[in-house]
Amino acid sequence: MQAEFWRDFPILQEQIQGEPLVYLDNAATSQKPQMVLDALNQYYRTSNANVHRGVHSLAERATIAYEIARDKVADFIGANRKEIIFTKGATAGLNIVATWAERLLKPGDEVLISIMEHHANLIPWQQVCQRTGAKLVYVYLKDGQLDLADLKTKLNANTKFVSIAHVSNVLGCVNPVKEIADLAHQVGAYLVLDAAQSVGHIALNVADLACDFMVFSGHKMYAPTGIGVLYGRKSLLEQLPPVEFGGEMIASVSEQDASWAELPYKFEAGTPPIAEAIGLGAAIDYLNQIGLSKVTAHEANLIAYLLPKLQQIDGLTLYGPKDRQNRLGVFSFNLEGLHPHDVATALDYQGIAVRAGHHCAQPLMTYLGTNATVRASLACYNTKADCDRLISGIQATKEFFNGLI
Ligand code: 7TS
């Protein structure tokens, strides 16, 4: 019996090019369940006001709903509510951490990242290193996943930050975060975790992962766009100066000076994405209602089903780990002789949504010796039937183009 989570997502009823939609671009963004759509509607219909300022009843409703969303996030990742900063998304969170890092880093210091990082966890560090004279050091791959031995040789007393993806948005591999965090801490470095591709798929507990900072985006875990989370260990966030300045983030202001509000508000300047945060709370409710472990198990079944089928296709090069251990549902591949954009367009003609391109990981593409890949990525609402449609879609694409060549 297959889990029928797809019933909860109205957009999955859409027809694309006359075919029922098979949505396999979840690593880019996920679809939204009715519960999240209802929460947004309900908020705007009954509670819309600005937060943390009004004394009127609607303002109080909005503030309570916004702060309840923060509590839900804190519970979801095993953190304290003061450690949850609402941001625009994973990118914004990483930029905040990098801005702070810029104050600490000196020439000769090192920042260790991996070659599989999304540009969001790469360019902020490049910029910071260029400005401070610190060195950006890369860990490379072995067997399609992170080479831990390489990481160990590159960690040293100069390493001040290790910033790493939990799950690669191209390779699908799950990195051994706890082990990396322990190694980083042994040399006195901070561990920054980019959980953009793991959130909503596997459990995230900041204590178990031993990370100092963690970022993710709501929109990849069934919540709206425009909302994300920066988690930081309280003792660190207390030392960290604000990055943006303005309303909401102050304790008091005089003509020439200001003092900062307590955590987490000192990092939330201006009117926050209120509805979006409430939507994120609803997405967490949705996952809790199903049970995240059921989602993980359902996706693991799909991975076990799809991986060998992809590997059996003649002329298909699959990137990332060869076996399903340490893999989540992100499958990047190329078909011999075909451009990834042509493959994605041919799949779209069959109602199948996948992404093609460099996936904001150009150094990884160069390392893999390609310009681009096709990427199919799973979420809780996908089914074995979707996997079958992808496989037959790829076969049909091959036949179509072979007929032209
Ligand atoms: N980190 C990883 C690992 C990601 O996959 C992404 C987005 C980000 C950070 C940035 O998230 P944002 O919400 O701030 O943009 N990844 C993708 C992708 O693979 N295709 O589209 C967006």
Q: Give the model confidence (pLDDT) of 133-164 as tens digits.
A: 999 999 999 999 999 999 999 999 999 999 99
pLDDT of residue 113: 98
Note whether 331 and 387 are same-domain residues.
yes
Sequence-ordered list of residues with C-beta below 8 angstroms from that of 367, at least 6 positions apart, any chain: 115, 140, 141
Terminal CA-CA length for the chain: 42
Note whether 85 and 197 are same-domain residues.
yes
Catalytic residue among 129, 173, 211, 360: 360
In a domain, 19, yes or no: yes
Domain boundary among 242, 262, 288: 288
Rounded to whole angstroms, the Cα distance separating 263 from 274 reads 18
Domain of residue 349, CATH code? 3.90.1150.10
Residue 279: domain span: 38-288
Note whether 280 and 297 are same-domain residues.
no
Ligand 1 centroid to Cα of residue 219, in Å, is 10
Query: Closest Cα to residue 91, out of 219, 208, 191?
Result: 219
Place of tokens 């990981």: 361
Residue with CA closest to ligand 1 atom 11: 90
Note whether 132 and 54 are same-domain residues.
yes
pLDDT of residue 4: 87
Q: Contact, 176 vs 139, CB < 8 A?
A: no
Note whether 267 and 373 are same-domain residues.
no
Note whether 128 and 230 are same-domain residues.
yes
**Residue 9: count of CB within 10 angstroms of its CB:** 20
Rounded to whole angstroms, the Cα distance separating 274 from 198 reads 24
Mutate to test the pocket of ligand 1, among 217, 219, 222, 229 (most ligand atoms within 8 A of CB): 217
Q: pLDDT under 50 in the chain at which residues?
A: 1
Q: How many helices (H) and strands (E) does the chain have?
A: 13, 19
pLDDT of residue 1: 45
Rounded to whole angstroms, the Cα distance separating 376 from 390 reads 8
Q: Contact, 337 vs 368, CB < 8 A?
A: no
Note whether 101 and 202 are same-domain residues.
yes
Domain boundary among 222, 253, 288: 288
Note whether 295 and 274 are same-domain residues.
no
Ligand 1 centroid to Cα of residue 118, in Å, is 7
Note whether 209 and 321 are same-domain residues.
no
Place of tokens 């390779």: 171
In a domain, 31, yes or no: no
Is ligand 1 within 6 A of the CB of residue 169? yes
Place of tokens 């003061």: 82
Ligand 1 centroid to Cα of residue 17, in Å, is 27
Mutate to test the pocket of ligand 1, among 87, 97, 113, 118 (most ligand atoms within 8 A of CB): 118
In a domain, 33, yes or no: no
Domain boundary among 235, 266, 288: 288
Ligand 1 centroid to Cα of residue 181, in Å, is 22
Query: Closest Cα to residue 335, out of 323, 351, 346, 324?
Result: 346
Note whether 167 and 312 are same-domain residues.
no
pLDDT of residue 2: 57
CA distances in angstroms from 106 to 131, 160, 176, 380, listed in the order given: 9, 10, 28, 44
Note whether 283 and 295 are same-domain residues.
no
Is 129 considered catalytic here?
no
Is ligand 1 within 6 A of the CB of residue 28? yes
In a domain, 216, yes or no: yes
Q: Contact, 319 vs 368, CB < 8 A?
A: yes
Q: How many domains does the chain have?
A: 2
Q: Contact, 90 vs 120, CB < 8 A?
A: yes
In a domain, 32, yes or no: no
